[in-house]
Structure 1
Amino acid sequence: MSSAFLSLRLWFAAFVLLAGLLPAEAEPVDATPRIAVLCAFEPEWRALRAIATHMEDHSYKGVPIVTGEIEGKPVVLAMTGVSMVNAAMTTQMTLDRYNVTRIVVSGIAGGVDPSLNIGDIAVPARWGQYLDVILARETPQGFKLPSDDTPEFANFGMIFPRGVRVFREGQASSPRQFWFDVDPALLEVARKTEAETDNQLQRCNGANVCLMKPPRVRVGGSGVSGTAFVDNAAFRSYTFNTFKAQVLDMESAAIAHVATTNDVPFIVFRALSDLAGGGPGENEMHVFMDLAANNSAAVMRTFLKALPD
């Protein structure tokens, strides 16, 4: 046997051994086509579990997951945890482990549009990450960006929001973008069911504290997300004036970013639990978060019922 042939055999054997040690590409743990229904924390999770059937509980890396059905549609429910990082991580994990056809988000948010009231449900047409920012240098002439940056939006003091780079399969460049558009077909289904849900929504919480006005559904407009709980009237006004946003939260735009990169259609339902600092007294979230979570789930349930298979 020649030394060259022996070397080739040894090289091939080493290659086979190494290939066996490398992790294989992960297969979905469940091949059933499912709609991923995501929420952030316990009140929203309870509301989703209350409307799901044929539930099977799972967990992955500590994240609560349920497979089952809502209105006859196969779903995988996941509680992401509050925050942009948690939301992005759990969304990608769910996409990797399940055969997800669409992403639907249900939960609560702070209202920034003065025309909306606590309890109203917003279904924005697009989402932006408004706290991806440059914290600008303060100079005698005011706050100044680095010389190679130009403002994309009005600033709030030293805070200058800007878009983020988004990677996509088969795309050589990754240009910055601020807005992530909701799937238009899903948004159209939400529009068609908008009038159906107004009379199904709760007006009073478990302690019989009631909303000032009956809740209503608003489809369209914009939502923004960031890594802050906002309870500040001045910043609330800035957010509305700058982004024309209806609501702000701490997860939806991160989910939208992951959905866009993975080319998975998404839509978000957010019920107002508070006014992000715009109310006359203490923040109202803990008074109305259960009511808001239940109302968001009710609107989302009607949407899923009307959604074509």
Structure 2
Amino acid sequence: MDTIPRIALMTAFEPEWNQLIHRVERQEHHRFKGLSCVTGVLEGREVVLSMSGMSMVNAAMTTQGLLDRFTVTHLIFTGIAGGLDPLLRVGDVVAPARWAQSLEIIMGRQVAEGFAKPDWLTWAPDMPAFGMMLPNTVIVGTGAHPAKPRVWFEVDPFMLEVAQGLEDIVLSAQTPDGRSLDHVPAFVVGGAGVSSSAFIDNADYRDYVFEAFEARVADMESAAAAHIAYANDIPFIAFRSLSDLAGAEHEANEMNVFMSLAAENSMRVVCRFLKALP
């Protein structure tokens, strides 16, 4: 096991990874079964970087693999996301205060009044359904706390406070191929985020998740990493930049258009955060 205290930085796939990896000094590459990672120094901090692969199981597997093999002091997930909050725009970077697994659900039985969960399933939260899809909790504990049902995984309050103190971050408004946004992207701290194994490109479901979870962004990994961080008592935060609006665009989904811009903006915030973290 690597005994050097390190900050773990995770991304899901290459466009996010490529924004960080060339900035890491003194790189050493490691491979453990399905886990590939790089140790080194970023912004003066000892770090370990890993690309989890997309979606929840990959993110959970990679997170636990990092924690088992390295002395991780803090965990940061960085990358792109779909925007749910109508006040957010492409290129904005969000650091939510809490994360939920939005497709941890019960497929309800159809009854006269609509759809219902089994009577014996008493731990489901009192939240609105999306058709037959009724939100459910996950049951998890830590070494110090017994397992119990929960919807939300809170980010580390001190890390969130550091993020709130970041000022004058210049975010990109132009893609590598020269396309420009019609606004200046902003960095926003607080609120909620959700993750699931589904890529959201549906305006109705987007509206539902925004209303039911009051979530600002949706991705496919952060809540899984937050779940594992909670179970291991590791401080966690995620920074996500909007590459698209999760189905609310006037025409086609724009993720491929603004993916690189969003990944760059998330990287810029993460680098500033590393400088500011005591």
Name 1:254's counterpart in structure 2: 224
Q: Deviations over 1:251-292 (max 9, x none)?
A: 000000000000000110000000000110100100011111
Higher helix share: 1
How far, CA to CA, are the matches of 2:155 and 2:190 in structure 1?
Answer: 10
**Is 1:190 matched up with 2:163?**
yes
User: Per the alignment, do residues 155 and 302 of structure 1 end up closer, same or farther by CA in structure 2, a change over 3 Å counting?
Assistant: same
Name 1:72's counterpart in structure 2: 44
Name 2:83's counterpart in structure 1: 111
DSSP-derived class of the 2:77 partner: strand
Within 5 Å, which residues of 2 pair with 1:54-203? 54-149=26-121, 151-171=125-145, 173-193=146-166, 195-197=167-169, 200-203=170-173
Note if contact 2:125-2:137 (Cα within 8 Å) is conserved in structure 1: no
Name 1:46's counterpart in structure 2: 18
Q: TM-score, normalised by structure 1?
A: 0.87
Name 1:19's counterpart in structure 2: none
How far, CA to CA, are the matches of 2:246 and 2:42 in structure 1?
Answer: 31
How far, CA to CA, are the matches of 2:35 and 2:173 in structure 1?
Answer: 32
| Identical amino acids, percent of aligned pairs | 50
Q: Deviations over 1:70-113 (max 9, x none)?
A: 11000000000001000000000000000100001110000000
How far, CA to CA, are the matches of 2:164 and 2:114 in structure 1?
Answer: 44
Q: Which letter does structure 2 place at the counterpart of 1:71?
A: E
DSSP-derived class of the 2:110 partner: strand
Higher Cα Rg, which structure: 1
How far, CA to CA, are the matches of 2:214 and 2:72 in structure 1?
Answer: 31
Name 2:242's counterpart in structure 1: 272
DSSP-derived class of the 2:168 partner: helix
DSSP-derived class of the 2:248 partner: coil
DSSP-derived class of the 1:196 partner: coil
Shift of 1:151: 5.0
Q: TM-score, normalised by structure 2?
A: 0.97
> How many pairs does the alignment contain?
276
How far, CA to CA, are the matches of 1:140 and 1:242 in structure 2?
Answer: 23
DSSP-derived class of the 2:22 partner: helix
Name 2:8's counterpart in structure 1: 36
How far, CA to CA, are the matches of 2:33 and 2:16 in structure 1?
Answer: 20
Higher strand share: 2
**Is 1:216 matched up with 2:186?**
yes
Shift of 1:202: 1.1
Q: Deviations over 1:219-256 (max 9, x none)?
A: 01100001100000000000101111110000000000
The unaligned stretches of length 5 or more in structure 2 are: none
**Is 1:207 matched up with 2:188?**
no
Question: RMSD of the alignment, in Å?
Answer: 1.1
Which runs of structure 1 show a deviation greater than 4 angstroms over 4 or more consecutive aligned residues? none
Q: Which letter does structure 2 place at the counterpart of 1:83?
A: S
Shift of 1:141: 2.7
How far, CA to CA, are the matches of 1:219 and 1:141 in structure 2?
Answer: 39
Q: Which letter does structure 2 place at the counterpart of 1:157?
A: G
Note if contact 2:35-2:65 (Cα within 8 Å) is conserved in structure 1: no
Shift of 1:133: 0.3
